[in-house]
Amino acid sequence: MWDDAFPSFLIGLREGLEAGLIVSILVATLVRAEARSRLPQVWTGVLAAIAVAMSFGAVLTFTAASMPQTAQEAFGGVLSVIAVAFVTAMVFWMRRSARNLSSELKQKVTGALAMGSGMLILTSFLAVGREGLETALFLWTTAQAAGESAGPLTGAAIGLLLAAGLCWGLCRRVLKINLTKFFTATGVVLIVIAAGVLGYGLRDLQEGGVLPGKTAYAVDLAGSIDAGSWYSTLIQGVFNLMPTMTWLQVVAYVAYLAVVMTLFVRGVRVTAPKAKPERKPETVTQRSAGASGEGSAARKPAARRRPVWVVPAAVVAVPAVVAGLFVALGRPKPAGDQTVAVSETDCGKGFTAPEPGRQTFQMHNTGRQASEVYLVDPSTNAVYGEIEGLAPGTTRDLVATIAGGTYAWRCVPASGKAVTSKAVTVTGGGAAKPVAPVSEQDLAAPLKSYKAYVGKGLDTLAGQTRALQHDIEGGHLDKARTDWLTAHRTYASLGAAYGTFEDFDKKIDGRADGLPGGERDKDFSGFLRLEYGLWHGRSAKELAGPARQLSTDVAGLGKAFPSQDFDPGDLPLRAHEILENTLQFELTGDTDEGSGTNLATADANLAGTRELLTVLEPLLTDRAPKVLPTVDTDIDRVQKLLDAQHDGGHWTPVEKLSDADRRRLDGATGQLLEDLAPIPDLLEIRKSA
């Protein structure tokens, strides 16, 4: 977690120390001016600044949470760029103002004393508020980059606590810190961190569609760098440098770092020798000590005094109330305030035209059957949102982005016909992209192509298993091992996932897991049975029977496959499930029976996934043109990692992979699965009215 915490720790430490120094100087000035009775006014201003900063952070968090995903990315990107601008200005301001900070603040306090309590509260509020707003904005952007990690908040808390301790030590004269060097060193580090935040923010703007070049990669090291290693995690967390970066990110990072760092370092060199001894601000004690009894005496309190808690309570409550109103009014009006009824006879009761924007609908099933619920464009059947399996008597939220267009509810009960509600029309609100419907007819051509591919592969496999049988019957076990791998790779490339070949898959490629006798069980058959025997010293005589059985089962599958019932809706599932099996079994070594060729099987599974995506390409390109380019990049990355693990016919066994290589392969496959995950939903066959 430290990699995510360090940037926030540094900003908390630096901003906390800056704010602490400012408060210390304000307090010391009042004490020297014999105006201790005015100290509560300083603390009230400080409290108001903290309340505003925290309210600002809440507004950022809740405002972003109510936006669509692309809008969230664009919003986060804009705020990241703004945060970089604030942090850049802050490090230059502190470098320039450090030597005169004490005298400037004393002058402001002296003037405020003459103008009344309100001005003193305002002076302390403005002095501390800048640091609070900068801290809130920078912490929000780093927290966005860290995702669900608690590192940013933890790091900031540690930094603020340490800053408070340092300020206490400086005030008590138990510590001496060269503040000029401290702010210079931390300024250099913050500039480097800010460069990474700028790159991250620009990437968010690209993801949100605000800036071009989303797929124009200048650096793509995902295949050669272990994203899970400690050094990679540290670099990504601290500097926001990712293994994959676009040209815009790289150019902006380098340009910002070159220009800002040069100006900052040059400014330090120019101004450092000019310091005058009497103005040297080495410690807060020295700064405070210069504050003599100068300044006007505190004014006498008014005859009628309000309760001391009123103003502090107000300065906390007002920002919180304003932030709450901003969040409440800024969120889209929830159409779900009205419950929308779902049943097998009446769908969409209570549905009225919603406001444009991101909406939450409360769907309540008043019928007697479980039902699927879709928000559709009735003219095209395109789907804006859906709930699967809404049980009778239950209520669930359906979230959808509403824009100009026509909308209706479609309820599909577990048995019976679909029911569609009356349509409503929404005007304005930009555009929302629904998922185009897919019918069995749409999947007919891809299914025909895929079945032809599998049929041809089964013909090839039949010849290969006969050759394997002849090898074993002839006692040529070395050749049998080679031919075994060839045949097994062919079978793995045909997409045998989740019952594609019905009962034949268990006979041909079943595992020994769960069998009473394990590898010696009489029901253990197929490729893995032969693998165990060929790599565990079994004789040709012992293996002849299993080899004949395998050849017979493959021939039987070849005859049965053309007439097997293959649900067209299952075809998109295979694009994800084949590699899901790969990650679960092949890449864990769970199915290795001695040959050490699980990576070869994974390679064949990858080839089968490519074939599936090829036949599904026309449907995917029309519905989600960005999915396939991303998936193709992922597949190429996995392919490179697999290619690096074999030399000719020899493959590295999974258990002999280095920890780094194994993490890379698992990570790349996991990312591929994540990017494949939308395909089943995009190509799901949905029942129409």
Question: For residue range 506-541, what is the model confidence (pLDDT) as tens digits?
Answer: 899 988 887 888 888 888 999 999 999 999 999 999
Specify which residues 407 forms β-bridges with.
Answer: 424
Residue partners of 577: CB distance under 8 A and separation at least 6: 497, 498
CA separation (Å) from 132 to 46, 214, 377, 663?
Answer: 10, 34, 47, 40
Q: Residues for the chain: how many in total?
A: 689
- Count CB-CB contacts under 10 A for residue 389: 12
Tokens of 689: 């009215």
Output the six-digit token pair for 529.
Answer: 């049975």
What's the rounded mean pLDDT across residues 286-303?
Answer: 43
> Which of 189-193, 361-365, 683-687 tops mean pLDDT?
361-365
pLDDT computed for residue 335 by the predictor: 43
pLDDT greater at residue 184 or residue 676: 676
Using CA atoms, how far apart are residues 231 and 575, in angstroms rounded to an integer? Answer: 33
The alpha carbon dihedral of 294, 296, 300, 306 has a sign of: negative
CB proximity list for 440: less than 8 A, separation 6 or greater: 568, 569, 685
Phi, psi angles (nearest 5°) of residue 514: 90, -15
**Ranges of H-type helices in 147-214:** 151-171, 179-207
Q: What is the Cα–Cα distance from 61 to 407, expressed in whole angstroms? A: 30
pTM for this structure? 0.55
Name residues whose C-beta falls within 8 Å of residue 543's C-beta, 6 or more positions apart in sequence.
472, 477, 480, 530, 533, 534
- C-alpha span between 40 and 34 (Å, rounded): 14
Pairing verdict, β 646-647 and 650-651: antiparallel
CA distance 361 to 375: 10
Confidence check: pLDDT of 182 > 60: yes
Tokens at 597, concatenated: 């060729």
pLDDT one-digit tens code per residue, 12-50: 777 777 777 777 777 777 777 777 777 787 788 788 878
Q: Which amino acid is at 629?
A: P
Split at pLDDT 50, 70, 90, the class of 434 is confident
What whole-number distance in Å separates Cα of residue 136 and Cα of residue 131? 9
If you average pLDDT over every residue of the chain, what do you get? 79
Q: E-assigned strands of 323-381?
A: 340-342, 357-365, 371-377
Does pLDDT of 200 surpass 60?
Answer: yes
More confident residue, 646 or 5: 646
CA–CA dist 5, 143 (Å, integer): 9
Give 259's contacts (C-beta < 8 A, 6+ positions apart).
none
Q: CA 376, 382, 387: angle at the middle one, nearest 5? A: 50
Instruction: Work out whether strand 357-365 and strand 340-342 pair parallel, antiparallel, or are unpaired.
Output: parallel
What distance in Å separates the CA atoms of residue 286 and residue 293, rounded to the nearest whole number?
15
Q: To the nearest whole percent, how much of the chain has pLDDT over 90?
A: 27
Which two tokens mark 75? 């919003």
Tell me: pLDDT of 375 over 90.
Answer: yes
H helices present in 493-526, as ranges? 504-509
Q: Is 650 exposed, middle or buried (0-12, 13-18, 19+ CB in 10 A)?
A: exposed
Residue 653 pLDDT level (bands cut at 50, 70, 90): very high
The strand pair at 646-647 and 382-390 is best described as unpaired
Amino acid at 486: T
Most confident of the ranges 110-124, 240-254, 449-463:
449-463
pLDDT value at 283 more than 50: no
- The whole-number pLDDT of residue 223 equals 55
Sheet containing strand 357-365, edge to edge, reads: 340-342, 357-365, 395-402
- The Cα 672–Cα 606 span in angstroms is 11
Neighbours of 127 (CB within 10 A): 24
| pLDDT value at residue 476 | 96
Over residues 653-665, the mean pLDDT reads 91
